[in-house]
Structure 1
Amino acid sequence: MAKSPPAPASTFSMKDWFNADRYHTIADQLTAVDPGFDRKRFLQLTLDGLESRELMDRMRQTARAAALTLSGAVRKQIATLRRIAPQTDHGFVGIWFAEFVANEALDQPDLALPALHFFTRYGSAEFAIRRFIVRDPGATLARMQPWTQDDNEHVRRLASEGARPRLPWGVRLDALIADPTPTRPILEALKADSSLYVRKSVANHLNDIAKDHADYVVAWCAPWQSLGPDSAWIVRHGLRTLIKRGHPGALKIVGAGADAKVDITTFAATPTTVTLGGSLQIDLHLASLARGDQTLIIDYVVHYVKASGKASPKVFKWKQLSLKASERITLRKHQTIRDFTTRRHHAGHHLVELQINGQRLAETHFELKLK
């Protein structure tokens, strides 16, 4: 009798970082350091209804369950968590320690902020710290400023990442969206940080601010370009949204003129009809018409059809290069057209535009079929 084929492996989801095995491990760790810990109730609180919870809900439920089952008052509970945090084997899982602190000690910053400074080494406190910023922005940012000089890159990153105005998944910091100047000293202190991990955060922080205060960011970070390659990298990535928008000041900083002098001989998307899951090929041939060298930032824009039938443009980075006078280039890009959790495709006519130095210079199109 032929054997049945093995069941296909289930697709991993990030929420599975918090699974039954994980909760039993956490329970073992807490039992070892807290004789009064209610292990049975902790497992009941975390495992009951587990499958219905998404990633962030699982993280929050972990913190709530610990608060209800650890012995002692909050100061003792935090001390207990400090003992097990170094055993955490996955950075995102460790976020629940900071969540616990924000839940249980929001009104005790003298206890909570040193705890976040500690726990962020084992799971970023970037979400938790925001609740303290909302509650008392001046005092919290003042406590975060010295973190920019910490020996640990996770702590230095927290000083920037935790105060980002528009951190994905995090509480929006509306006061800092309206007035970004309070975080300027933090970013100034990190503008040449030795860690790429930290520099990425600084660039993302600048990009957040630039969405609301474009001219302010351009004027502020323009001098950074000459401080060295690390600072120049921050500037390029921090201005990426403005470069996509064709902001003249941002383009000037990265050496690209707003008026690209080019002759475009080919800009085409093939095949002209694509089925969802298939691949689109985009070809570009152009020549420089400038008398000298010129920097080109080449992007393409796909206008995705929405459920309403209207189109929503999405800018994709392609290539940044320098062309000599009369120099010709050929570029080719392949893009798979498939659904993501953040984008669902819809059938119809899709416009594709060529964008160079922020200007739309050519267009093509393709038809998308769902099957």
Structure 2
Amino acid sequence: MAEPLKHLIGHQTARDTADAVARAWAPFARAAFLADILPVIDGLDLMQRGQCIADALRRHLPDDFEQAAVILHACLPAKERQGLTGWALLSVNQYVAAHGRGNLESGLGLLKALTSHFTGEFGIRPFIADEPQKALAIISGWVTDPNHHVRRLASEGTRPRLPWAMRLPSLVHDPAPILPILEALVDDEEEYVRRSVANSLNDIAKDHPDLVADFVERHRKGASKERLWLLRHASRTLIKKGHGKALANFGFEPLPDVLATLDVAQHRIAFPGQLAFDIRLANAGGEARTVLLDYSIHHQKKDGSLSPKVFKGKSLVLQAGENVTIRKRHALRPITTRVYHPGLHRLEILLNGVPVATVDFDLDMPQAPGA
């Protein structure tokens, strides 16, 4: 069994941090620093462990952030020295985010320096929230940095809905200030950077679908295969939701001549089990059609209503007059992200994002012992 994520930070992380700071700053109270951390860190989760070390840094580094930033910068690896890398730098992110506010240039400078050894994406967000114009002016300059980690920080750290990080409501509401950053990096030579751009656009699509569909349309012209991948990945939420223009951007036009029928092997399924179904497609038109086939399971909720979840199927080209049958099996089994309830469920087929056929089925749940 894999180790819990929280073990990425632990006693050795705290000791490594203490050693690095002690080398960089002679007055550092190493023993007192560790005494603040080691007795409590085992009972904390991952982010809390990072914050525990960050809080201890706050107590044992100079109160003046500018002085503390110089010390922490000296804790990073350089040609002539080893230094902190990886998850040990999460706490530095958290320290800078909490105590560097009001020190825009030195705070962002430290995060830019450390991103090559971990990432600075968590730490830069409070600066954007506090001083968006000034912060984004500095961050925008990173898009031409020779270090691809720094270029990626420009796109990843400004994502409106970055997972595990504070949300940036102003950019959720209006992402226009970060579009020039994404424009500048859309053809970056590093896949690592391009994937970040795609993820940022996908974030934006959740609140501004038409904006992202228009962005994709503009950038498809003359696109390389790398940029096409980026644009497709950026459109994944829109395609899944059947956004018309997003589908059209990739050749998935409306399909008035494609007929679909749906059959399920059983209309009553015992849990755990599987839903077996056949999808028959017929192109009654005179031209070949590009078809994006997805399906949706409408799960019953506790209150009896149905909640749909789309699952990706396949993409295919259906020639004029062609008929195909596609057989699918969908597992209905215990998973940590869903609670199943007995009763009516629905299977729905989507072609190019448009529902075309549905079948209802019942799910039987086992009774609890003694019920």
Regarding TM over 0.5, the answer is yes
The 2-side partners of 1:104 and 1:40 are apart by 23
Judge conservation of contact 2:20–2:84 (CA < 8 Å) in 1: no
Judge conservation of contact 1:348–1:368 (CA < 8 Å) in 2: yes
TM superposition shift of 1:368: 5.3
Aligned: 1:197 with 2:188: no
SS of the equivalent of 1:169 reads coil
1:197 is matched by which residue type in structure 2? Y
The 2-side partners of 1:368 and 1:42 are apart by 57
Judge conservation of contact 1:99–1:125 (CA < 8 Å) in 2: no
Which of 203, 211, 217 lines up with 2:206 in the alignment?
211
SS of the equivalent of 1:291 reads coil
Aligned: 1:316 with 2:316: no
SS of the equivalent of 2:310 reads strand
The 2-side partners of 1:15 and 1:347 are apart by 36
TM superposition shift of 1:29: 3.5
1:184 is matched by which residue type in structure 2? L
**Counterpart position of 1:138:** 133
Instruction: List runs of 5+ in structure 2 lacking aligned partners.
Output: 78-82
Aligned: 1:246 with 2:239: no
The 2-side partners of 1:81 and 1:333 are apart by 55
Which of 2, 17, 30 lines up with 2:21 in the alignment?
30
TM superposition shift of 1:366: 5.1
Judge conservation of contact 1:37–1:71 (CA < 8 Å) in 2: no
Aligned: 1:121 with 2:116: yes
Aligned: 1:264 with 2:260: yes
**Counterpart position of 1:224:** 219
The 2-side partners of 1:306 and 1:93 are apart by 42
Map 1:111-190 → 2, pairs under 5 A: 111-190=106-185
**Counterpart position of 2:346:** 351
1:343 is matched by which residue type in structure 2? R
The 2-side partners of 1:42 and 1:61 are apart by 11
Which of 321, 325, 343 lines up with 1:326 in the alignment?
321
TM superposition shift of 1:170: 2.1
Aligned pair count? 360
Judge conservation of contact 1:275–1:368 (CA < 8 Å) in 2: yes
TM superposition shift of 1:188: 0.7
TM superposition shift of 1:212: 2.1
Task: Call closer, same or farther: CA 1:291–1:340 in 2, change over 3 Å.
Answer: same
The 1-side partners of 2:366 and 2:149 are apart by 44
Task: Call closer, same or farther: CA 1:162–1:295 in 2, change over 3 Å.
Answer: same
**Counterpart position of 1:45:** 36
The 2-side partners of 1:178 and 1:353 are apart by 33
The 2-side partners of 1:290 and 1:52 are apart by 64
Identity of aligned residues (%): 36
> Which deviations, in whole Å up to 9, do the C-alpha atoms of 1:9-32 show, x marking residues without a partner?
6x5221121123333333344344
Which of 299, 304, 322 lines up with 2:294 in the alignment?
299
> Which deviations, in whole Å up to 9, do the C-alpha atoms of 1:108-135 show, x marking residues without a partner?
1121111111111122222221111110
Task: Call closer, same or farther: CA 1:330–1:19 in 2, change over 3 Å.
Answer: farther
> Which deviations, in whole Å up to 9, do the C-alpha atoms of 1:23-55 show, x marking residues without a partner?
333334434443333233332332333344222
After TM superposition, the score normalised by the length of structure 2 is 0.86
Judge conservation of contact 2:216–2:249 (CA < 8 Å) in 1: no
The 1-side partners of 2:75 and 2:266 are apart by 55
> Which deviations, in whole Å up to 9, do the C-alpha atoms of 1:180-234 show, x marking residues without a partner?
2111111110111222222222112112222222222222321211222122222
Map 1:51-66 → 2, pairs under 5 A: 51-66=42-57
Which of 338, 351, 367 lines up with 2:363 in the alignment?
367
2:142 is matched by which residue type in structure 1? W
SS of the equivalent of 2:303 reads coil
**Counterpart position of 1:4:** none
Task: Call closer, same or farther: CA 1:143–1:269 in 2, change over 3 Å.
Answer: farther
Instruction: List runs of 5+ in structure 1 lacking aligned partners.
Output: 1-8
> Which deviations, in whole Å up to 9, do the C-alpha atoms of 1:295-342 show, x marking residues without a partner?
111212122333434332221222122222233444444554455554
Which of 236, 240, 246 lines up with 2:232 in the alignment?
236
Judge conservation of contact 1:218–1:249 (CA < 8 Å) in 2: yes
Judge conservation of contact 1:159–1:186 (CA < 8 Å) in 2: yes
1:203 is matched by which residue type in structure 2? A
**Counterpart position of 1:82:** 73
> Which deviations, in whole Å up to 9, do the C-alpha atoms of 1:209-263 show, x marking residues without a partner?
2222222222232121122212222221212222222222111111111335323
Judge conservation of contact 1:269–1:366 (CA < 8 Å) in 2: no
Judge conservation of contact 2:262–2:277 (CA < 8 Å) in 1: no
Judge conservation of contact 1:85–1:97 (CA < 8 Å) in 2: no
1:24 is matched by which residue type in structure 2? R
> Which deviations, in whole Å up to 9, do the C-alpha atoms of 1:263-305 show, x marking residues without a partner?
33444366942434x5555543423333222111121212233
After TM superposition, the score normalised by the length of structure 1 is 0.86
